[in-house]
Amino acid sequence: MKRRYCVTKISQREKQHFLQVAGFHSFRFFFLEVSGESILRALEVRGTHCSVQLEPVTLSQMKEFSRSYPDPILFLQSPEGASPSSLRTFNENATLWEEICPFPFSLFARYFNSAEGGVHISPDPIRQAFSQLFSALQCLETKMAETELSILWFHSPEQEIAFLCHYVRKRRLGVGTSAELLQIAKDFSEGGLTKNKLFEMFGTQTSFFNVDLSENTAENPILRISAALEKATQEPFQVLVSHLQTELFESDASI
């Protein structure tokens, strides 16, 4: 029987937990949101902690501020007189990164994903690193979308989090999380996860991706997660119904 796939929607706390697992707990950057000529938000971000800043006060001060600020800057600009971000109806085309990351980290993906423009990332090396990260994530998601369900397990030696993504005709319908997914991950790490078991659990084509963040020792968390995503893409644990039917048939035959 096909099981229901509903999992709890990802909460803010879980999104923040993901950042920690992904190694962004001490990643610092400044987030500026500007609408027309007005600065709407200035946040100093340190990992999962955001601190509201009243400076810079004006756009002219902002240029000077940007030049002297030591950390990366994410700058979101809406057109003159427009609403804070362009009007959108239900976040239909959100990338996977936007789904699993807290604000304003989620906005990094918008730079690479959106035709709207208005997102700037500085300095160049950080932008390039994020570009690499989102290419890796896109490749992984192409692989994930091959099956109706995909479990994405991010883990470092200290922490872990797992997401379940639901795809229909290669389109992501939902992302969620639940404690049960970590049990599946535990089975996987202990070598106890079989394709039959995965099929029994979900009753449909399912993939399991192991994003191991402990293998790469790069100091930059962006590069570390990119490498882990690339590796996970190359080594998926997939149960496709056609494969499974063959296996079951063979085992029946042997009986």
Partner 1 sequence: MANVHSPVTEFNYLEIPPHHWEEELSLLKMVGTQTVLLRIPWGAHETSKGMRDFSRSSRLRLEKVLKNLADQHLKTQLQFGYFCAKEMLPSWAFSASQKTTIPAQVWDKESDDVSLVEVPSLFDHDLWASFKEFSNDVVKLSALYVTPHGPVEKIFLNLKLFAFDRDLFSSEEFTHCFKELYPNFDKINSKYNVILKSSPPILSTVNYRVLYKSRPWLASFDYKICREKLLTQLKEKATSIDSARGLEDHFEVETSESLEILSNGNSAVAIDPVFLDFSRDKVFPFCPQGLISPSSAFAFRMAEYFKEKTHFHRQSFFSLPLMGDSEPFPFNFISVICGKYLTRAAYQYLEKIWMRGGTVFFPFGFPQFDEHMVVLEWAGGMEKKTLSVGESRLQGYLRGLGIVCAPMQAFSPTQMVWDEIDKIRVGFEAGGTQ
Q: How far apart are CA 205 and CA 218, in angstroms?
A: 34
- Residue 222 is a binding residue for partner 1 (CB under 8 A): no
- Residue 171 is a binding residue for partner 1 (CB under 8 A): no
Nearer to partner 1, 81 or 191 (CB): 81
Report the nearest approach of partner 1 to the CB of residue 93 (Å): 13
Report the nearest approach of partner 1 to the CB of residue 62 (Å): 13
Give the 3-state secondary structure percentages of the chain, helix then strand then coil, rounded to 5. 40, 25, 35
Q: Which of 68, 89, 217, 254 binds partner 1 (CB under 8 A)?
A: 89
- Residue 9 is a binding residue for partner 1 (CB under 8 A): yes
Query: Residues of 118-145 as b/e, b for ≥16 C-beta within 10 angstroms?
Result: bbebeeeebbebbbbbbebbbebbebbb
Q: How far apart are CA 133 and CA 126, in angstroms?
A: 10
Report the nearest approach of partner 1 to the CB of residue 245 (Å): 24
The footprint of partner 1 on residues 34-53 (CB under 8 A) is 35-42, 51-53
- Residue 73 is a binding residue for partner 1 (CB under 8 A): no
Nearer to partner 1, 130 or 227 (CB): 130
Residue 119's φ and ψ, nearest 5 degrees, are -110, 130
247-255: long-range contacts at Cβ-Cβ below 8 A with a sequence spacing of 24 or more? 247/195, 247/196, 248/196
Binding site for partner 1 (CB under 8 A): 4, 6-12, 33, 35-42, 51-55, 57, 81-91, 102-104, 106-107, 176, 178
